[in-house]
Structure 1
Amino acid sequence: MSVAICSLKWEAARSGRQRITYDSDGYHLVRFPYAADEEAYDPWRMHDPLHGATKPSKFPDARSGLIWPSHDGWGTLSAMVFWDPDSRPTEYRARFVRDPLDLSTGYDSTATTDFVPTRGGQYRTYSWQMFVHPGTPVGLKISARGPGDVKLAAPLMLAEFKLAIQTDVVRP
């Protein structure tokens, strides 16, 4: 079995705070730096700043939130999100999205999940599997909601986003 992997990490303590802004779908596309660190892994160049436009992307622009699959195959998407302690949100949401910036095949969200805050920290992991294709980027989108479904700019502490593609999948 052959597997292509892209593993991204963003941490407020290392890369500075990430400003949460909401797109028209009511979610924020989480951005990831292009510089490698001890957690980042991208030998197939799926998080290359040249993907998706004529000029290179720069973190934290929206394209820095994309992974462009290097192969057709069965993709396992996983993410981890740590929210800064904040008592305002009454609900947190996360979803994986095919083409979140509508650059190729069109926005297609999947695996949306939500949860109410716990008394402790808000630390969550997410996982989903689906077919992926080189021309269709994938992204991790998040949202923090307050009373009345008001979208809040609740800060993040850490986010990781990973794609593992099994490349030898046989489709009938």
Structure 2
Amino acid sequence: MPIPVCSLILNERRELDPGEYHVVRFPFGGGESYDAEGMHQVAQPDGYEVGDWRADDRSGLIWPSADGWGILTAMIQWEAGSYGELRDQFVRDPLGLTDNPDDTTATDHRPPSKGMQCFTKTHSLFVHPGVPLALRVSHDAGGRCALVHAQFKLSIHT
């Protein structure tokens, strides 16, 4: 039985304000992204249609295609900056679309290294159709800083 996989990639600079968590938004189709199971589509399972992926946090959602044990993987790359801390997390329903919104997991607070900030992370959890997943990031620099590359992946073992 094939394993359902969704693999998203962002190769576009995105400037983010400090302090709050931001859903990482991903373009639809093309490039290195892979979505044979239809888990990251413009027309979403709840009937909503994303108009502009750069402006709509819904473009950061992966909607699992099956119940199962989900393995989440992310790669996050920030430009060099004056950070005290960088944060990232996986979250179930970050936009409050279900009865159990904003269920965060695998939250990491990271001290910066010299130069560009590059991180990977993996976490496993149960996933369900109708409960979208997202990757969120945050920083505490004195002003806007750029996320320069990100990947977000889900594989479901049923």
Give the superposition deviation at 1:55.
Answer: 4.1
**Runs of 4+, deviation exceeding 4 Å:** none
Map of 1:18 onto structure 2:
14
| Counterpart pick for 2:114 among 104, 116, 119 | 119
Distance 2:46 2:14 in 1: 23
Q: Could you say what secondary structure the match of 1:59 adopts?
A: coil
Q: Which residue of 2 aligns with 1:170?
A: none
Give 1:82 deviation, angstroms.
Answer: 0.7
Letter in 2 for 1:18: R
TM-score of the pair, normalised by structure 1 = 0.84
Cα pair 1:74 1:165 within 8 Å, conserved:
yes
Q: 2:92 aligns to what?
A: 98
Structure 1 residue ranges without an equivalent (≥5): 168-172
Verify: 1:63 aligned to 2:54, yes or no: no
Q: 1:55 to 1:102 in 2, by over 3 A?
A: closer
TM-score, normalising length: structure 2? 0.91
Count of residues in correspondence between the two structures: 155
Query: Displacement of 1:20 after TM fit?
Result: 2.0
1:153 positional shift: 2.6
Larger Rg computed on CA atoms: 1
Q: Secondary structure at the match of 1:67?
A: coil
Instruction: Give the whole-Å Cα distance in 1 for the aligned partners of 2:85 and 2:5.
Output: 31
Residue 27 of structure 1 corresponds to 21
Matched, 1:84 2:69: no
Distance in 2 (CA, whole Å) between partners of 1:121 and 1:21 is 18
SS of residue in 2 equivalent to 1:64:
helix
Q: Which residue of 2 aligns with 1:45?
A: 38
**Displacement, 1:44?**
0.4
CA distance in 1, matches of 2:110, 2:48: 38
How far off its partner does 1:52 sit? 5.2
